[in-house]
Structure formats: C-alpha cells, structure tokens
Amino acid sequence: MTDPIFELHKVTVRYGSFTALSEVSLQVKAGERVALIGPSGAGKSTLLSLLNGSLAPSEGQVRLLGEDPTRLSVRALRRIQRQIGTVYQQFHLVPNLSVIHNVNAGHLGRWSLARAMLSLIVPLERQSAARALADVGIADKLYARTDTLSGGQQQRVAIARVLVQDPVVILADEPISSVDPERSREIMTLLRELCDRFNKTLVVSLHAIEYAYSHCERMIGLRAGHVMFDLPAGQVTPGMVEALYRIRKAEA
Ligand code: ADP
C-alpha cells in the first residue's frame, strides 16, 4: 500500500501566543480532491502552508509524501517540495515578465542557478511552456506581458506554471477569490480536469461553498483552528456549513 500524500497527527500551530490550528489530525490519499472550507481566519492558509512544507508545526507530527519535513536537510526538503505545487489567490507571478518566463518558473526547483539566470535572457523550454499554456486554454499568450492579462488568464498562467513543475499534488489557496465570478467556474473546472488527466491530488481552500460541493469529493470544515467535520461532500449538510460560518455572539 502506498503512503498517504499527507499525514497530520495532532498538529498545533501557534503564532506567538495565538493558536491558529489546534490538534489537527488528517490524511490525504493519492488522487483525492479535498476542499478546505471555513470562515476567514479559520486556519486554511496555515494548513496549506504546513502541507507545502513552508511552515513547521509547533506540536504534533506532519508527514509530506511519507517524510517528516522537520527531520530533512534543506536539500531533501526541497526535493519533497518540488512534488508539491501551490497555486495562490494572488497568482504570485512577476507582472512585467512575459508569460513564458512565469510558466518556466515551474522548472526553478530543478534548474541550476546558471540555467535559471540564462532563462531570463533566452527563454528555455519553449515547448513545455507552450504545451502547458495550451492545456490551460491560453496557447496564444506565450509571449504576452503577464500584466496585460485578465485575472482569470493570470490564474491560468499560474496553473500552467504548476503543470510545468509537474508535482504529485496541487495545493490551491483560494484560487478563485481574485477572479471574476463568471470565470470562477471555468478555473475550478480546469483545475479538476487537469488533476484528473495528469493524476494529481488536489487540496483547495475555497470561500465559495458551491464549488466545494460541485468540484471536490471530500470537505474539511475548519473553524477557529479546529476541524469541525471531515466528510465526503455528499454528507455535508447545509446545517453543518451554517454552523461553520455562524457568527459567535461574542464576535457579533
Ligand atoms: P484562513 O486562511 O482560514 O483565513 P489563516 O490560516 O490565514 O486563516 O489564519 C488563521 C489565523 O492565524 C488568523 O487569525 C490569522 O490572523 C492568524 N495568522 C496567520 N498568519 C499569522 C502570522 N504570520 N502571525 C500571526 N498570526 C497569523
């Protein structure tokens, strides 16, 4: 049997005296599509940072692709992180570079510094960048300046960059929050289809619950750093969602 992609055992994360995640235990298996839902401040981004190895737990154990990131050398951790691609709400692209450079940034974990520097002068790997752009539906934008693209197109560039990285798992942190509402469904459908086609596990945090239901088969509900439920999407009732977002009297 293969190891889970992610395994958290009683993980707590503190920022100073503030507890952002409290005793979270969960596993994500290969091929799953998991939505993280919950109000702002619930701990979704913190959980995604644990999953991509950019944050260490204050307590508890994390395993990424079977490895304990806190015991790895910097080099070994980078090797694991190459297998974990992240798509962000704000795209994290370099706006004044052409699209091909931003897509090729997906290679950076594998390229030497010299090759990375050279790629800024002569775009390398034109073919793989062009293929990834075709996969995300904007083949004609290879040489466009990134900041001339719409929000939805920029998110497609960020997804193309992850395809070039070719990780085993894609993490997406509110990937449709900076995209026009009309484009949100397209971006979510694209993410789902690419994960199916290229056999990638997906963990995505979402504000829009309807996409958690329609595009993911499992939902993890977070509130104030606690996992309130972790269920197949079909078993999450409107009442559970309402309780997740209910404003406490003290907060109102
Ligand atoms: P979400 O993604 O669900 O909105 P976050 O994981 O971003 O939640 O944040 C969870 C809580 O931790 C929030 O109350 C937030 O203010 C706090 N927090 C996040 N990052 C930091 C940090 N670097 N330092 C202090 N507090 C933080």
Model pLDDT, residue 108: 75
CA distance 223 to 60: 19
Return all residues near 207 (Cβ < 8 A) that are at least 6 apart. 37, 174, 177
Q: Which of 13, 14, 17, 18 to mutate to test the pocket of ligand 1 (most atoms within 8 A of CB)?
A: 18
pLDDT in tens, 25-63: 999 999 999 999 999 999 999 999 999 999 999 999 999
Helices (H), 8-150: 44-51, 74-81, 99-104, 113-121, 126-135
CA distance 219 to 19: 22
Considering just the CA atoms, what is the radius of gyration of the chain in Å? 18
CA of 46 to the centre of ligand 1 (A): 6
Q: Domain check: are 77 and 145 in the same one?
A: no
Task: Determine the average pLDDT of the residues in 207-236.
Answer: 97
Domain, as residue range, for 18: 1-83+169-179+200-252
Residue 105 is assigned to a structural domain of this protein:
yes
Element (H, E) at 161: helix 151-165
Return all residues near 88 (Cβ < 8 A) that are at least 6 apart. 158, 172, 173, 174, 175
Model pLDDT, residue 176: 95
CA distance 195 to 63: 22
Residue 190 is assigned to a structural domain of this protein:
no
CATH of the domain at 37: 3.40.50.300
Model pLDDT, residue 125: 78
Longest dimension (CA), the chain: 59
Tell whether ligand 1 has an atom less than 6 A from the beta carbon of residue 89: no
Mapped onto helix, strand or coil, the DSSP state of residue 52 is coil
Mapped onto helix, strand or coil, the DSSP state of residue 249 is coil
Residue 34 is assigned to a structural domain of this protein:
yes
Residue 228 is assigned to a structural domain of this protein:
yes
Atom 14 in ligand 1: residue holding the nearest Cα: 41
Q: Domain check: are 39 and 59 in the same one?
A: yes
Q: Domain check: are 120 and 239 in the same one?
A: no
pLDDT in tens, 232-249: 999 999 999 999 999 765
CA distance 2 to 25: 19
Residue 188 is assigned to a structural domain of this protein:
no
Sign of CA dihedral 180, 204, 45, 138: negative
Q: Domain check: are 105 and 159 in the same one?
A: yes
Q: Domain check: are 50 and 12 in the same one?
A: yes
Q: Domain check: are 37 and 60 in the same one?
A: yes
Q: Domain check: are 162 and 175 in the same one?
A: no
Element (H, E) at 222: strand 218-223
Task: Determine the average pLDDT of the residues in 81-100.
Answer: 94
CA of 232 to the centre of ligand 1 (A): 26
User: What is the C-alpha end-to-end distance of the chain, expressed in Å?
Assistant: 48
**Which residues is 222 bridged to in the sheet?**
227
pLDDT in tens, 5-35: 999 999 999 999 999 999 999 999 999 999 9
Q: Domain check: are 175 and 157 in the same one?
A: no
Please state the domain count of the chain.
Answer: 2
Residue 195 is assigned to a structural domain of this protein:
no
What's the whole-model pTM score? 0.93
CA of 123 to the centre of ligand 1 (A): 37
Residue 194 is assigned to a structural domain of this protein:
no
Q: Domain check: are 161 and 174 in the same one?
A: no
Q: Domain check: are 51 and 175 in the same one?
A: yes
Backbone angles phi, psi at 10, to 5 degrees: 45, 55
Tell whether ligand 1 has an atom less than 6 A from the beta carbon of residue 46: yes
Q: Domain check: are 7 and 18 in the same one?
A: yes
